């Protein structure tokens, strides 16, 4: 018997109706891939759909893809395996890009970024390219979204972003870029708070004036079973382990007596705090099947009113 294909966050899947979904969880749930609608093929080409519009579109036209996940305790989208006509994988796309003629400036910049990282020792077999470049919906203003599948490779890439920026081979985001990122993310932090947290992550930069970012998807994903939502909560605690803070989802261990873990599903707050720092976090309190409580930040992409922010760095 053939095993079903592996699906990872940051992959994309296509259906015969002209829909492109971004995968949001590894593996399958009841024979379905958990995902979220990102693009719809219209007469003029692919159109990107924000969260609310994607939900409304599926409600009106394809309600069969609406889904409630008991595991994630969240409403999202899901596609049964037989309905998938194409599986877009970031690693394969990057390798194709590196060994094919580039037909536009976005692909050329992605090629140069990949070569630059590789020339400084990065194993590109553990790196892929996702977002609009993965599914060929990019435009001249598109960003480059790299994803790493190995924690050590991801750490190496982040260190290189800092070093190569100092050498002038890459550049820091300009003020306009930071402002744009802040507005798109709709972060529940002030702009100075957002900027302070982001600039120390070294997971964003510019190549030839084009923004790129780095994310991590790791093969070993902890399974906690189905979750029950207990309501919104705000937590004050100290981070005791940031090892998995850039994973998807990100995970922070805390010293809180009853809530030992913060889970974060939005990139806005991944890598947000370091071991030893005191934080304030707002999100949805959940209880796992084994009775453990956790605070979940970013059950939706925008994570309105949810956040993680450092309130004291004296311990680091």
In angstroms, the CA 155 to CA 62 distance is 40
pLDDT at 221 exceeding the cut of 50: no
How far is 280 from 311, CA to CA, in rounded Å? 7
Residue limits of CATH 3.30.460 in the chain? 90-216
Nearest Cα to 131, choosing from 75, 44, 214?
A: 214
What is residue 224's predicted lDDT score, i.e. its pLDDT? 57
- Cβ atoms of 271 and 196 within 8 Å: the answer is no
pLDDT at 314: 58
Mean pLDDT is lowest, of 229-238, 246-255, 307-316, for: 307-316
Each residue of 54-67: pLDDT tens digit?
A: 999 999 999 999 99
Task: Give the tens place of pLDDT for each residue, 142-186.
Answer: 999 999 999 999 999 999 999 999 999 999 999 999 998 898 877
Indicate where the chain has its CATH 2.40.50.140 domain(s): 227-310
Give the model's pLDDT for residue 8: 92
Angle at 88 between CA 86 and CA 91, to 5 degrees: 150
Is residue 7 within 8 A of residue 26, CB to CB? The reply is yes
CATH architecture for residues 227-310: Beta Barrel (2.40)
Does residue 296 surpass a pLDDT of 80? yes
Q: Alpha-carbon Rg of the chain, whole angstroms?
A: 19
Torsion of CA 92, 94, 95, 98, to 10 degrees: 160
Q: Which two tokens stand for residue 127?
A: 């790196």
Band (pLDDT 50/70/90 cuts) for residue 197 is: very high
What's the pLDDT at 26? 86
pLDDT in tens, 70-87: 877 788 999 999 999 999
pLDDT value of position 136: 95
In this predicted structure, what is the pLDDT of residue 71? 74
Q: Residue 134, CB half-sphere, CA atoms under 13 Å: how many? A: 27
Q: What is the 3-state secondary structure (H, E, C) of 208-251?
A: CCEEEEEEECCCCCCCCCCEEEEEEEEEEEEEEECCCCCCCCEE
Q: Give me 89's structure tokens.
A: 């994988």
Beta bridge partners of 180: none
Kindly report which listed range (29-38, 92-101, 189-198, 227-236) carries the lowest average pLDDT score: 227-236
Segment 95-100 long-range contacts (CB within 8 Å, at least 24 positions apart): 95/124, 97/129, 97/133, 98/124
C-alpha–C-alpha distance, residues 71 and 94, integer Å: 31
Q: What does the pLDDT average to over 263-277?
A: 93
Cis check for the bond before 249: say yes or no (omega within 30 of 0): yes
- Within 8 A by CB and 6+ apart from 156, the residues are 121, 122
Tell me how far apart the alpha carbons of residues 163 and 166 are, in angstroms, rounded to a whole number.
Answer: 5
Average pLDDT over residues 32-60: 95
Q: What is the pTM of this model?
A: 0.87
- Please tell me the distance from the alpha carbon of residue 146 to that of residue 94, in angstroms, as a whole number: 9
Average pLDDT over residues 27-36: 92
Q: Please state whether 168 falls in left (phi above 0), alpha (psi between -120 and 50) or beta.
A: left
Does the pLDDT at position 113 exceed 50?
yes
Q: 90-216 maps to which CATH number?
A: 3.30.460
């Amino acid at each position: 018997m053939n095993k079903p294909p592996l699906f990872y966050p940051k992959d994309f899947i296509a259906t015969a109706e002209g829909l492109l979904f971004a995968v949001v969880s590894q593996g399958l749930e009841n024979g379905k891939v958990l995902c979220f609608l990102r693009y719809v093929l219209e007469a003029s080409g692919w159109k990107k759909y924000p969260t609310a519009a994607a939900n409304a579109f599926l409600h009106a036209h394809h309600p069969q893809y609406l889904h409630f996940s008991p595991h994630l305790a969240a409403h999202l989208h899901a596609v049964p395996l037989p309905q998938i006509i194409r599986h877009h994988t970031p690693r394969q796309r990057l390798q194709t890009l590196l060994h094919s003629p580039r037909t536009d400036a976005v692909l050329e910049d992605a090629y140069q970024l990949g070569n630059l990282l590789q020339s400084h020792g990065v194993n590109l077999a553990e790196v892929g390219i996702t977002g609009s470049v993965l599914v060929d919906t990019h435009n001249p203003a598109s960003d480059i979204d790299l994803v790493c599948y190995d924690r050590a490779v991801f750490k190496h890439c982040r260190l290189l972003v800092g070093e190569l920026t100092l050498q002038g081979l890459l550049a820091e985001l300009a003020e306009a870029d930071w402002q744009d990122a802040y507005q798109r993310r709709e972060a529940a932090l002030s702009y100075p708070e957002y900027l302070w947290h982001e600039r120390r992550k070294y997971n964003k930069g510019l190549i030839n004036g084009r923004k790129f970012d780095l994310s991590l998807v790791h093969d070993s994903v902890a399974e906690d079973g189905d979750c029950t939502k207990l309501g919104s909560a705000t937590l004050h605690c100290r981070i005791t382990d940031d090892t998995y803070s850039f994973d998807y989802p990100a995970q922070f261990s805390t010293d809180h007596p009853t809530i030992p873990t913060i889970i974060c599903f939005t990139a806005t707050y991944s890598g947000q705090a370091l071991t030893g720092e005191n934080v304030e976090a707002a999100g949805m309190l959940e209880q796992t099947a084994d009775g453990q409580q956790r605070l979940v930040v970013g059950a939706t992409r925008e994570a309105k009113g949810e956040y993680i922010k450092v309130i004291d760095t004296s311990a680091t």
